[in-house]
C-alpha cells in the first residue's frame, strides 16, 4: 500500500531505489523492483537502479512500474542483464521520460530480456554498445531512442 491512509494502491516512485557508484558493484538474482524511482528527486536520474560507473550482473529479475526509469546507467563498462523483464514504465517526470532502460556511455549485454508495455523501452546515446541474444519488444509505444538502435 501507499501507507498514506487514503489509498491502498501503490504508485511508481514511492521508494528511492538503489544507487551503485563507481566504487561499488552489484550481483543480484531473483528479485522485483516495483514502484521505485522517487518522485521527490530533482534530477533526471531517479530510477529503480542507478548505475554510475559500476559493473553489474542482474539475473531473473522483474522491473515494473518505476518512475521514470527502470534502470539508468552512465559510464558503466560492464552491465549484464539476463532473464529479465521490464514492464509498465509509463510514468513521466518533468525532467525524464518513462523509460524501462537508459544507458549513456555504457556497454550492455542483454540475454533473454523482455520489454513489455513501456512508453520507451530503451534510451541511449550513440556511444553506448549493446550485445543482445533473445530480446523481445511487445506493446511498447517507442522501442528505442534514438530510433534505430535495435
pTM for this prediction? 0.89
Which CA distances in Å does 106 have to 1, 5, 131? Answer: 35, 42, 11
- Note the pLDDT tens digit of each residue in 13-72: 667 789 999 999 999 999 999 998 876 555 556 899 999 999 999 999 999 999 889 999
- Note the pLDDT tens digit of each residue in 87-102: 999 987 766 678 999 9
Amino acid at each position: 500500500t501507499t501507507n498514506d491512509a487514503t489509498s491502498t494502491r501503490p504508485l511508481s516512485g514511492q521508494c528511492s531505489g538503489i544507487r551503485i557508484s563507481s566504487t561499488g558493484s552489484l550481483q543480484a538474482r531473483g528479485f522485483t523492483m516495483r514502484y521505485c524511482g522517487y518522485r521527490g528527486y530533482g534530477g533526471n536520474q531517479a530510477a529503480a537502479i542507478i548505475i554510475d560507473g559500476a559493473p553489474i550482473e542482474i539475473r531473473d529479475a522483474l522491473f515494473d512500474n518505476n518512475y521514470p526509469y527502470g534502470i539508468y546507467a552512465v559510464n558503466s563498462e560492464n552491465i549484464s542483464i539476463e532473464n529479465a523483464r521490464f514492464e509498465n514504465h509509463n510514468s513521466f517526470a518533468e525532467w525524464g521520460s518513462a523509460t524501462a532502460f537508459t544507458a549513456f556511455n555504457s556497454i550492455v549485454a542483454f540475454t533473454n530480456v523482455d520489454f513489455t508495455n513501456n512508453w520507451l523501452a530503451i534510451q541511449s546515446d550513440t556511444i553506448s554498445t549493446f550485445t543482445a541474444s533473445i530480446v523481445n519488444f511487445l506493446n511498447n509505444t517507442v522501442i528505442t531512442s534514438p530510433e534505430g538502435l535495435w
